[in-house]
């Protein structure tokens, strides 16, 4: 197990059970567990130290974070720990969908995560690969998600080093849907698709993107 990338997938346990019986973190973790190079565990808001204690983070190479309803309940102490492990130790951080407003993500990128608009059932989402040579885009070509929630620019996402994916929606709406950053000693990736009422995290292409992102973000293991 020592050679495996240690991944912790965090969520709030607020997703609809009819779509995600084991919540978002369970679905994301199941997809990542298909890769035997990864050691995957899950954490939740209700766990001690909000699921990300100092001891837990010290044993984590990449933290994947899905938040939505409980952003304000995440404490500054929790965010401090995550920020330190990313910037100083080089822990990777993946912010998923509505985590554009999550405190750890906004702290790391130095922006507020604002978006210009949102609409449910606004698909199809057309996703274009803007950086085909980036490791996160390995094996991915342009694709569409028929059933997804729409986000619209302006996106308060700081200054990404690379915009890997870009989304367009009917009506001329668009969004930077895959943003990669080097922040201190760590790597951060934001991926837009993944509304809790849609089966996005069961898709093979989305699972491949998240797997690629884990390998890219892992300290001393990314290309």
Question: Which residues lie across from 118 on neighbouring strands?
Answer: 151
Provide the 3-class DSSP secondary structure of residue 166.
Answer: strand
What is the predicted pLDDT for the residue at 79?
97
**CATH class of this structure's domain 5-114+176-217:** alpha beta
Above 50 in pLDDT, residue 57?
Answer: yes
Query: Quick one: pLDDT band at residue 22, thresholds 50, 70, 90?
Result: very high
Residue 220 region by backbone torsions, left for phi larger than 0, else alpha for psi between -120 and 50, else beta: left
Segment (H or E) for 31: helix 23-32
Return all residues near 157 (Cβ < 8 A) that are at least 6 apart: 100, 109, 111, 113, 176, 179, 190
Cα–Cα nearest to 179, from 113, 84, 89 = 113
Across the range 180-191, mean pLDDT stands at 98
Above 70 in pLDDT, residue 13?
Answer: yes
pLDDT digits 0-9 by tens, 169-178:
999 999 999 9
What is the predicted pLDDT for the residue at 222?
43
Maximum C-alpha span of the chain? 49
Beta strands in 12-155 (DSSP E): 38-44, 62-66, 92-96, 117-119, 125-129, 143-145, 150-152
Whole-number Å distance between alpha carbons of 151 and 115 = 7
Above 90 in pLDDT, residue 159?
Answer: yes
Across the range 93-104, mean pLDDT stands at 97
What is the predicted pLDDT for the residue at 192?
98
Residue 180: DSSP 8-state: E
Above 50 in pLDDT, residue 223?
Answer: no
Above 60 in pLDDT, residue 1?
Answer: no
Query: Quick one: pLDDT band at residue 2, thresholds 50, 70, 90?
Result: low
The string of DSSP letters for 117-129 reads EEETT--PEEEEE
| CA atoms within 13 Å, Cβ hemisphere of 113 | 21
Whole-number Å distance between alpha carbons of 168 and 177 = 9
CA-based torsion, 56, 92, 67, 141: positive or negative? negative
Percentage with pLDDT > 70 across the chain: 98
Above 60 in pLDDT, residue 210?
Answer: yes
Cα–Cα nearest to 52, from 67, 38, 68, 37 = 67
CA-derived radius of gyration, the chain? 16
Which of 75-84, 102-111, 113-122 has the weakest average pLDDT? 113-122
């Amino acid at each position: 197990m020592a050679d495996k990338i240690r991944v912790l997938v965090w969520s709030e346990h607020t997703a609809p059970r009819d779509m995600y019986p084991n919540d978002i973190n369970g679905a994301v973790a199941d997809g990542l567990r298909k890769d035997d190079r990864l050691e995957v565990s899950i954490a939740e808001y209700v766990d001690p130290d909000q699921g990300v204690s100092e001891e837990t983070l010290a044993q984590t190479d990449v933290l994947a974070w899905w938040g939505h309803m409980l952003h304000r309940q995440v404490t500054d102490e929790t965010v401090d720990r995550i920020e330190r492990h990313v910037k100083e130790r080089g822990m990777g951080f993946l912010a998923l969908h509505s985590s554009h407003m999550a405190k750890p993500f906004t702290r790391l990128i130095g922006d507020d995560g604002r978006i210009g608009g949102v609409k449910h059932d606004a698909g199809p989402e057309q996703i274009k690969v803007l950086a085909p040579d980036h490791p996160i885009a390995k094996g991915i070509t342009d694709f569409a998600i028929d059933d997804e929630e729409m986000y619209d620019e302006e996106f308060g996402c700081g200054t990404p080093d690379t915009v890997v994916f870009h989304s367009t929606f009917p009506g001329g709406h668009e969004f930077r849907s895959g943003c990669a950053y080097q922040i201190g000693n760590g790597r951060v990736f934001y991926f837009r698709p993944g509304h809790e009422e849609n089966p996005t995290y069961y898709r093979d292409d989305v699972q491949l993107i998240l797997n690629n992102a884990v390998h890219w973000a892992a300290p001393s293991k990314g290309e």
